[in-house]
Structure 1
Amino acid sequence: MSAYVQTVLNQKDVCEIGFSQCHEHLFLANGTPALLNKALLIDDYERSFAEVNEYKKNGGTLLVDAQPIGCGRMEQNLVRLSKETGVDIVASTGFHSLSFYDESHWIFKFNETKLAEIFISEAKNGMFIATDKEVPNIQLTAKTGMIKTAVSPKGIETRNEKMFSAAAEAQCQTGLPIMIHMEKGADPLKVIHFFKEHSVPLDSLIFCHLDRTHHDYELHKEILSAGVFVEYDTIGRFKYHDDSVEADLIENMIEAGYERQILLSLDTTRERLGAYGGSINLSYLLNKFIPYLKERGCPEAILHILTVENPKQALLVRNL
């Protein structure tokens, strides 16, 4: 297979992929993240099934679960959910914000080489289970298709540099894309420079949350000019801004010629999943925001690029 995305069930030919959302949270186990924020508890299989099944009915074909190893990822549920709904699911290895791990967590104890081995094994052999408390040991055959990373508000710091280096090595060994969780205050250009110095192709990088952490349009253009993907996911998140602000940003980047590098998603949490009593649901893009962009004059062809063609390229496993 020459061009594929790695899902939890198989290597999916990009020709078979349709409407996709590249950053969601379909499950989150009860643990450290949920202790920090009760919205980070998404552990009811039937409710998550209802969300994803409705997403499929509305035209969705693929979802990325952006929760990495060791902090609430529910591997077996992801596999079951994909089988039972028919929606392709891409799982993530890598690491999240350091606050998502207690001080005794194995992720702080392992060196760069060991972390890279784990990330690579999850991509090549299958996901480890029960890693929130225990070191990776028991492994499924279902593989990850993305490497998640997360900066702190100060960017790549001493404490997480080994994790970023491990992610870079894993990308070079597997060809998987790398997603970067951004924080307000962090410099995206320094992150780009780091991965460039570590020989990671820049079109394998996906920057998320920039639409709520960095508000300078010129900075967004500079980031996009490097050749990375930018995933805008502060859609329907009204505590940050309304959808008109989001649409203004997207339209500005399209007008600047970057329509081939923009991804759209929702970064869902418990408080935003309708089946859990939340304010919207996984189909919000399909039912609300995409029609809103159409009303504002965004052509169908461009919307197809943002939601179908760009995910195929951003999630592509780049053969070595």
Structure 2
Amino acid sequence: MYIQTVLGKIRSEELGVCACHEHLYLDLSHVKKNDDTRLQDLNLVLTDLRNFVELGGKAIIEVTNDGMGRDVEKLVEISESLDLQIIASTGCYKDPLIPDEKLPWTRDEFSEWMIDEIENGINGTDVKPGVIGEIGSSLNKFQQIEIELFHGAIQAAKATKLPLSTHTTLGTMAKEQVELFIREGLPLNQVIIGHQDLNEHDEIVLDVLSAGPFVALDTIGKENYRTDEARLTSLLKFLENGYEDQLLLSSDLTRKSHLRVNGGQGYDVVLRDFVPRLKEKGIPELVIEKLLVKNPQKAFSIGKEGETK
């Protein structure tokens, strides 16, 4: 098994401490109408990422895709500058951030395009994506274009064996996403359900975990949505229920104001703040290593055999 980075393939065990859901170069301002959502100052991003690296961070799953300002050449630059493993994405996000020219597309067109990027490289480069994501649903529903997008992503994942990472708006639609993957026969050990630390209904997250996908608690530090103390309480419950092999952590920075130099949480918030709190709660080092290292290795490996429970 291997993981596809922007600099080429690596053995899965080379990944290291990994943030499972981040953005290093993106622009949502054309939809958000807010310049804060144009995170494209490489010098500031590099400075902030150095804190992550200094605390032991080795890898970033970069889920910026088409329509979100994706630029894989910038990711190559960051990777080479910091000796950081970066995994790029193919796909589209969600309504209304799907590019206009793709709005009429069918699932087959989405699938063919993603497969072409996976096999041949992104936007004329030789940089290949290592994940399909973040593929998103809207608040409490799938928009029609999102249904086509999800089906296209599933087809591409089945054809190429790449992992598929999702967006759930404020944590909603996680069970519905899982049900769709089951109906379409996508192995759930190939799936990462995103933003479940925004889902305040622990019983729903436990139901999702019981089906077998990886689950990302990936907005750590965004306390305007939910406190990290509440996130921690939920995580402890998931661990107590035996799901330490399926959980992933990250912080999902999307704004200039999220950088530490601008008073935000920074890319290192999980390692700097959240992990020490886990240790204070008595979570063993071996479990923390699963959350940061072992589980990402499994989740983002290509060509996994079999299915989880």
Range into which the TM-score falls when normalised by the shorter chain = over 0.9
Cα deviation code 1:46-66 (max 9, x no counterpart): 111212233212210000111
Asked if 1:76 corresponds to 2:73, the answer is yes
> Are the equivalent residues in 1 in contact too, given 2:20–2:218 (CA < 8 A)?
no
Q: 2:45 aligns with which of 36, 44, 48?
A: 48
Between 185-194 and 240-249, report the one with greater CA deviation.
Answer: 185-194
AA aligned to 2:174 is P
Identity of aligned residues (%): 30
Q: Which residue of 1 aligns with 2:150?
A: 164
Question: Which residue of 1 is the match for residue 167 of structure 2?
Answer: 181
Letter in 2 for 1:150: G
Structure 1 stretch displaced more, 140-149 or 62-71: 62-71
RMSD of Structure 2 on Structure 1 (CA) = 1.7
Residue 232 of structure 1 pairs with residue 217 of structure 2: yes
Is the CA contact 2:5–2:130 (under 8 Å) kept in the aligned structure 1? yes
> Once the 2 structures are TM-superposed, how far is the Cα of residue 27 of structure 1 from its aligned partner?
0.8
| Counterparts of 1:111 and 1:57, CA distance in 2 | 44
Counterpart in the other structure of 1:211:
197
- C-alpha contact (below 8 Å) 2:95/2:143 kept by paired residues: no
Name the SS for the 1:292 alignment partner.
Answer: helix
Distance change (3 Å), C-alpha of 1:186 and 1:294:
closer
| Alpha-carbon distance, 1:34 to partner | 4.8
Q: CA offsets, 1:180-227, max 9 Å, x none?
A: 100248432221121122221111111111221x21211111100000
C-alpha deviations, 1:89-115, integer Å up to 9, x for none? Answer: 01111111212246xx11102322221
Give the equivalent residue in structure 1 for 2:118: 123
Kept in 2: contact 1:4–1:317 (CA 8 A): yes
Asked if the contact 1:155–1:191 (Cα under 8 Å) also holds between the matched residues in 2, the reply is no
Quick check: 1:254 aligned with 2:254?
no
TM-score (norm 2): 0.93
CA spacing shift, 1:319–1:313, aligned 2, 3 Å: closer
Deviations 1:135-190 (A, max 9, x none): xxxx1101111111100124333222111111011101111111110024843222
1: CA distance between counterparts of 2:188 and 2:98? 28
Structure 1: give runs of 5+ residues left out of the alignment: 129-138
In structure 2, C-alpha distance between the alignment counterparts of 1:198 and 1:42, rounded to whole Å: 36
Which residue number in structure 1 is paired with residue 302 of structure 2?
317
Gaps of 5+ in 2: none
Kindly provide the CA deviation profile for residues 262-294 of structure 1, in whole angstroms up to 9, marking residues without a partner as x. Answer: 00000012221124x141211111111111110
Q: Shift of residue 30 of structure 1?
A: 6.5
CA separation of 1:319 and 1:126: change in aligned 2, threshold 3 A: farther
After superposition, the Cα gap between the structure-2 partners of 1:184 and 1:265, relative to the gap in structure 1 and judged at 3 Å, is: closer
Q: Indicate conservation of the 8 Å contact 2:218/2:251, yes or no.
A: yes
Map of 1:90-101 to 2, 5 A cutoff? 90-101=87-98
CA distance in structure 2 between the partners assigned to 1:295 and 1:195 by the alignment: 37
Distance in 1 (alpha carbons) for counterparts of 2:288 and 2:170: 28
Matched residue of 2:18: which SS?
strand
The answer as to 2:27 corresponding to 1:29 is yes
Task: Give the equivalent residue in structure 1 for 2:7.
Answer: 9
The one-letter code of the counterpart of 2:216 is: E
TM-score (norm 1): 0.90
Residue 205 of structure 2 is aligned to residue 202 of structure 1:
no
User: Separation in 1 of the partners of 2:11 and 2:116?
Assistant: 22
Asked if the contact 1:29–1:74 (Cα under 8 Å) also holds between the matched residues in 2, the reply is no
- Alpha-carbon distance between aligned partners in 2 of 1:9 and 1:267, rounded to the nearest angstrom: 22
Aligned-pair CA distance for 1:32: 2.1
Check if 1:146 corresponds to 2:144.
no
Letter in 2 for 1:28: L
For 2:178 and 2:49, the matched residues in 1 are separated by: 33
Q: Does the residue aligned with 2:102 lie in a helix, a strand or coil?
A: helix
* Count of equivalent residues: 303
Which residues in structure 2 correspond to 1:297-308 (within 5 Å)?
A: 297-308=282-293
CA distance in 2, matches of 1:262, 1:39: 30
Partner SS for 1:259: coil
